[in-house]
Structure 1
Amino acid sequence: MIMILTCNWLFLDTSISPPIILILFSFLFLDNSEMISPLLGRSTKKKNHFHISPNRFQPPHKTPLYKSVIVRVVCGAIIVIYMMSVMSSKTYEVENPFSLPNVEYYDLGESKGTNRGWERGEQVLMCVPLRDAEPHISMFFSHLKKMTYPHGLIDIAFLVSDSKDNTLSRLLEALDDLQGSELAFGEISVIEKDFGQAIGQSFSDRHAIEAQASRRKLMAKARNWLLTNAIKAEYSWVYWRDADVESIPATILEDLMHHDKDVIVPNVWRPLPEWLGGEQPYDLNSWQESETALQL
């Protein structure tokens, strides 16, 4: 993935003609400016007459050594800047097909998440929607600190919406503690926006049949809004995480990547009393039907 930021370079005029460059080279390598007079169009033909001067003999005037050195240094600098500007302009034209100011160009042709993302430095965006989540903040951040995927490769985007408790203030406190430690993550975004969700957060309210249509419609709207505002071209993966998950492997990102799938969902189980079996499949929103079920 390539990102090119257009900018203006302060170079000398790159339209300098080759003859001028040749003249500058001559200043660098010739001892006397008279030796380049043919390049400048000045005649060096000796006059055809004899002259006797009564004055004392004076040797031909030569430019002081320090002036010659200065001239050569200046000419050399001009040539170097010119060559750099030419090379830079050619590279710019190749990498950025638009060549427009204030335009960001991304080549995502070879961009792909792999099953070894932690070794390849692949960046992950973690999206976390929060609503009346104050009781779960401590547990959630405890899980975050234990994650084995390189924390510097994980950016986190929080969406706090329709909360009546102290979710936002508790979140900011936890972030201050986390980002000031050696376990700090990458870029953190906290977005606050309400979507009019009126369904309560109790188990009975959230799972009542009559509440599902309106509740899930607003959930989808909020999640889509969070992703749209947080996504960037440099991310190889997007990881959605609910704050109320009680138990989760610290290697969850590596475990999911190992399957090398574009879209994958972990199997979520709900704890139950022992007399009810101890646990049951909980996340039935993303099941995969069997061939038999599809035929039915």
Structure 2
Amino acid sequence: MIPRNLPADHICHYDLNKLASTPMAAYNKERVLILTPMAKFLDQYWDNLLKLTYPRELIELGFIVPRTADGDAALRKLETAVKKIQNPKNTKDAKFAKVTILRQDTEALESQSEKDRHAFKVQKQRRSQMAVARNSLLFTTIGPYTSWVLWLDGDIVETPPTLIQDLASHDKPVIAANCYQRYYDEEKKQDAIRPYDFNNWVESEEGLRIASTMSDDEIIVEAYAEMATYRPLMGHFYDPNGDSNTEMQLDGVGGTCLLVKADVHRDGAMFPSFPFYHLIETEGFAKMAKRLGYEVFGLPNYLVYHYNE
């Protein structure tokens, strides 16, 4: 438990050697920090967050919002939603343990439309800005009692309610869900799904070859025709009849839905805003975690869904 109402001159002692991140996270009452960079506030994201079955008294929330027009609107909606759920009249188990909202003190892309933010030409700038925002959010909110960090993008609008328990049960230092998107297939005239996050990948010989030809300040950006790496992408390994617990080892990860043992971050794995072995942001984080000796995994048959603009 976190001491509360302590006198100003009180000294708190934390033994991080006793802090655990186990497969039975909820049973062992392990604290989870859910971190979300939020350019827009989506009601579906918030509604899904409230459906998670992990005990809220063990969850802290952290958000970072850009200083843009969309960010200003998102902040107003987010504060309204937070005030409603954190109302003192609500019971302890109905409220989150803590909520932190930061404003981004660095630049962000003004346009947050899906087309503009995914344009190939802006990727290095955008991903560098995102890395700085993620690091600011992480370093500000992680505490000596945090066991797990769940990176959950503000565009994720549908997950299993048992998301945290499911991912933690694999007991992996870093583990990513497979992010898909629902859409209407005009040709088949029916609802369908398609892969969305292509940053969960396994390294390829071509990827290594491309990296070997690059100058130190160049990065590889995955899933763009302008730079074909032929890396196996987890998004393409989904089997609708497969076991949702199937694991695959990864070399790169995205940040749409990523569970990290807090010790991985404490050991120094962050989101490089600079080219790190020609990788940046979340993919650079995976590289950094692996350089520190941690294994990185993904769940190809465990789906979460991204908002479709």
For normalisation by structure 1, the TM-score amounts to 0.60
2:85 equivalent to 1:178? yes
User: Structure 1 residues 185 and 169, CA, compared in 2 at 3 Å: closer, same or farther?
Assistant: same
Residue from 14, 17, 20 that aligns with 1:109: 17
Mapped to 2, the partners of 1:144 and 1:282 lie a distance apart of: 20
Q: Equivalences for 1:177-256 in 2 at 5 Å?
A: 177-180=84-87, 181-182=90-91, 183-256=94-167
User: Structure 1 residues 112 and 294, CA, compared in 2 at 3 Å: closer, same or farther?
Assistant: farther
Mapped to 2, the partners of 1:292 and 1:198 lie a distance apart of: 31
Flag structure 2 segments of 5+ consecutive residues without an equivalent: 210-229, 231-309
User: Structure 1 residues 144 and 202, CA, compared in 2 at 3 Å: closer, same or farther?
Assistant: same
Mapped to 1, the partners of 2:123 and 2:55 lie a distance apart of: 37
Q: Please give the secondary structure, in 2, of the residue aligned with 1:256.
A: helix
Mapped to 1, the partners of 2:167 and 2:125 lie a distance apart of: 31
Query: Given residue 52 of structure 2, which amino acid in structure 1 is its aligned partner?
Result: M
Equivalent residue for 2:49? Answer: 144
Q: Equivalences for 1:109-128 in 2 at 5 Å?
A: 109-128=17-36
Query: Conserved in 2, the CA contact under 8 Å of 1:130 and 1:167?
Result: yes
Query: Conserved in 2, the CA contact under 8 Å of 1:112 and 1:236?
Result: yes
State the shift of 1:280 in Å. 2.2
2:196 equivalent to 1:286? no
Q: Please give the secondary structure, in 2, of the residue aligned with 1:118.
A: coil
Query: Conserved in 2, the CA contact under 8 Å of 1:199 and 1:206?
Result: no
Mapped to 2, the partners of 1:223 and 1:152 lie a distance apart of: 24
2:63 equivalent to 1:154? no
User: Structure 1 residues 123 and 200, CA, compared in 2 at 3 Å: closer, same or farther?
Assistant: same
Equivalent residue for 2:242? Answer: none
Q: Please give the secondary structure, in 1, of the residue aligned with 2:128.
A: helix
Q: Please give the secondary structure, in 1, of the residue aligned with 2:69.
A: coil
State the shift of 1:123 in Å. 0.5
Query: Conserved in 1, the CA contact under 8 Å of 2:23 and 2:169?
Result: yes
Q: Please give the secondary structure, in 1, of the residue aligned with 2:62.
A: strand
Q: Please give the secondary structure, in 1, of the residue aligned with 2:32.
A: strand
Q: Name the structure with the higher strand share.
A: 2
Q: Please give the secondary structure, in 2, of the residue aligned with 1:260.
A: coil
Query: Given residue 141 of structure 1, which amino acid in structure 2 is its aligned partner?
Result: W
Query: Conserved in 2, the CA contact under 8 Å of 1:199 and 1:211?
Result: no
State the shift of 1:251 in Å. 0.7
Query: Given residue 179 of structure 1, which amino acid in structure 2 is its aligned partner?
Result: Q
State the shift of 1:2 in Å. 11
User: Structure 1 residues 250 and 292, CA, compared in 2 at 3 Å: closer, same or farther?
Assistant: farther
Mapped to 1, the partners of 2:85 and 2:135 lie a distance apart of: 27
Q: Please give the secondary structure, in 1, of the residue aligned with 2:158.
A: coil
Count of residues in correspondence between the two structures: 199
Mapped to 2, the partners of 1:121 and 1:246 lie a distance apart of: 26
Query: Given residue 140 of structure 1, which amino acid in structure 2 is its aligned partner?
Result: Y
Q: Please give the secondary structure, in 2, of the residue aligned with 1:128.
A: strand
Q: Please give the secondary structure, in 2, of the residue aligned with 1:168.
A: helix
For normalisation by structure 2, the TM-score amounts to 0.58
Flag structure 1 segments of 5+ consecutive residues without an equivalent: 9-100
After superposition, the C-alpha distances for 1:158-201 in whole angstroms (9 at most, x for unaligned) are 11122313111111111111112442111111112331113511
User: Structure 1 residues 119 and 290, CA, compared in 2 at 3 Å: closer, same or farther?
Assistant: farther
Residue from 75, 83, 95 that aligns with 1:168: 75
Query: Conserved in 1, the CA contact under 8 Å of 2:32 and 2:58?
Result: yes
State the shift of 1:282 in Å. 1.4
After superposition, the C-alpha distances for 1:126-166 in whole angstroms (9 at most, x for unaligned) are 111112x13x1x22221122110001000111111223131
